[in-house]
Amino acid sequence: MRVVVTGGAGFIGSHLCRALIARGDSVVCVDDFSSGLGSNVLALADSDRFVLIEHDVRERIPVVGPVDAVVNLASLASPPAYLARPLFTLQTGSIGTQNALELAKRSGARFVQASTSEVYGDPEIHPQTENYWGNVNPIGPRSVYDEAKRYGEALVAAYTRDGLNGGIIRIFNTYGPRMRVDDGRVVTQFISQALANDPLTVYGDGSQTRSLCYVSDLVRGFIAMVDSEHPGPVNMGNPQELTVRQIADLVIKVTASASRVEFRELPQDDPQRRRPDISKAQSDLGWAPQVDVVEGLARTVEWIAAGAHRDAAVAVST
């Protein structure tokens, strides 16, 4: 297959590009490097089945030739990033998604949209099932990401009703190597603080929950979705629910850190509970996570401790 991956130099996108190349596909990676890093896909540069196009998806996507699938991962995903660039985030999720859909439409290609558990907002239903419509504050600061993704889903659904072979994945908290350590997300923040023996910053009382899925597991789910004609939406995440305080304690244990936990005020609209119901992914796609949380954290700690993230930043700047 020839697959276009928008946001392909990002954390999840770069892992997906590598997995597609590894199984014999050709990949066109489209990224504007607003959050992705060229070093994430540097190892693929010598492959004759990999092409990198630096491009903002808010403009018509300039891919020529046959395309079998388009996977749309283009979006700022870390809270500090999308809060700093609210209009850019909204435009990427709306105009950018439509441009990716238009590429798939004119190519007759399969389209897979990377949506998010944030479409559920601060959920009143637990665990979250795909038929739950969510509890999102449409004018709160996080809405620039939440509503961009909800609108993106509406676009995909409209194109699919019009004949496009489209599908939607709702991603729950994902972690692993090549996450940016400055992205403000719980795993990278805790690991960076623990390795420095600094206090681990827990917002609220730490009782809010997250469900952590290792990136290789999520990528398997994306490939299963690309290979199917499932319209979605399909939840993809690890149904093992952990409190933020438990995650902090696990990171301290895995890193053998002397850090303590420090509590701070909870940000506005921060979801209190996250746990996916993955029954649909299991039954329809044969997908379930395989990597244990402790093992996944250990791999992520090893990558950050080795300074790979700093090497990536240097490679891009030079």
Rounded CA gap, 9 and 121, in Å?
27
User: Is 203 noted as a catalytic residue in this protein?
Assistant: no
Mean pLDDT estimate for the chain: 94
pLDDT tens column, 210-259? 999 999 999 999 999 999 999 999 999 999 999 999 999 999 999 999 99
User: Which residue type sits at 116?
Assistant: T
pLDDT tens figures, 172-204: 999 999 998 888 789 999 999 999 999 999 988
The predicted model scores a pTM of 0.93
Are 155 and 98 spatial neighbours (Cβ–Cβ below 8 Å)?
yes
- What CA–CA distance (Å, rounded) separates 101 from 32? 18
Residue 313 reports pLDDT greater than 50: no
Q: pLDDT-derived band of residue 269, with 50, 70 and 90 as boundaries?
A: low
Q: Of 82, 120, 132, 145, which is the active-site residue?
A: 145
Range among 21-30, 76-85, 179-188 rated most confident: 21-30
Domain 2-175+213-239+270-291 has CATH 3.40.225.10: no
Q: What is the pLDDT of residues 152-162, one digit of tens each?
A: 999 999 999 99
293-311 average pLDDT score: 85
Burial label, 91 (beta-carbon count in 10 A; 0-12, 13-18, 19+):
middle
